[in-house]
Amino acid sequence: MSDGEKWNLENAAAGAIAGFSTVAVLHPLDVVRTRFQVSDGRGGSCLPLYKNTAHAIYSIARMEGLRGLYAGFYPAVFGSTVSWGLYFFFYSRAKARYKKGFDQSLSPGYHLVAAAEAGALVCVLTNPIWLVKTRLQLQTPFNQNRPYIGSSDAVRTIFKEEGWRAFYKGIGSGLFLVSHAAIQFCAYEELRKITINLKSRREKTDVKDGDRLLNSFDYAMLGGASKLAAILLTYPSQVIRARIQQRPSSDGIPKYLDSWHVASETARFEGARGFYRGITSSLLKNIPSASITFVMYENILKLFKLSQSKLDTSD
């Protein structure tokens, strides 16, 4: 295995570990966010009406217990672990490919293209996982349909009742969410450069030693800030995807036909506010999540580098 391939696998492993850790800690907020996103306030839904994030958590815990707060946990853990692992793998490969022939660091444009490329590949590969997660998170004691008994039952039932194409519902808005990842990683890379330059000037050290200049607090701030920018700019597409991925009613008729139908109905009945339902719980969940992810990713990567350098020295 070449050094480049080994480095890509290390990026994938670091990303996967980071993704698993964040989901395990913050999953209840993800359940709340998903339920807010599909609640249009027009009735016809089996979901209770929640006043705010705190009320939603309290209501779910009281009516459904811990199981309700962790609905869809297994596909969320699996999906996040796979997604982050694949994302960092594809992203590092894309950056390495675009960097060939360049001595200096990549420009923001190249970071944007690399992030978008990685995001598109991950979206196509993982959309079925997110659909199953969304369906499980939307199950309540008031559902008219026979409830899914776990992830495997959900997969079998969806395939039997709706066919394989159902697993790719929301893929259009999901691909639009590629811009979310592109914005996040481009912002992270540029903020990272700025932070390194500022620290190198202050400490009068070489910019090339950037990894040594940054600490866990820096990674947390950079990860949180980049995620905030991405959420604010692309959140409506998350609402559209969640709504179109809802389970059809007991008669098999879906509430929305496609992404355009979701967008037009939301704009018609709820206005701009409808496209930002659940954003509070999304911010509460995703900003700490991004901070934890990048702290773990960067530190795990440092451990890999340290262990590799020790091996090279011993050889």
Contact (Cβ atoms closer than 8 angstroms) between residue 153 and residue 139:
no
Average predicted confidence (pLDDT) for the chain: 84
Whole-angstrom CA distances from 306 to 92, 197, 293 are 19, 23, 20
The Cβ of residue 45 has, within 10 Å, a number of other Cβ atoms equal to 17
pTM: 0.78
Least confident piece of the model among 10-19, 202-211, 248-257: 202-211
Q: Indicate the fold that domain 3-310 takes in CATH.
A: Mitochondrial carrier fold (1.50.40)
How far does CA 135 lie from the centroid of its chain?
17
Q: Where are the domains of the chain?
A: 3-310
Cα–Cα dist 122/227, whole Å? 18
Tokens 């990683």 found at: 185
Segment 128-154, tens digit of pLDDT:
999 999 999 998 887 778 889 999 999
Run of H or E residues at 90: helix 73-99
- Looking at residue 268, its amino acid is R
Q: What are the helix (H) ranges across 39-71?
A: 53-69
> How would residue 101 be classed by pLDDT, with cut points 50, 70 and 90?
low
Give me the mean pLDDT over the 75-79 stretch: 90
Helix (H) / strand (E) element for 299: namely helix 279-314
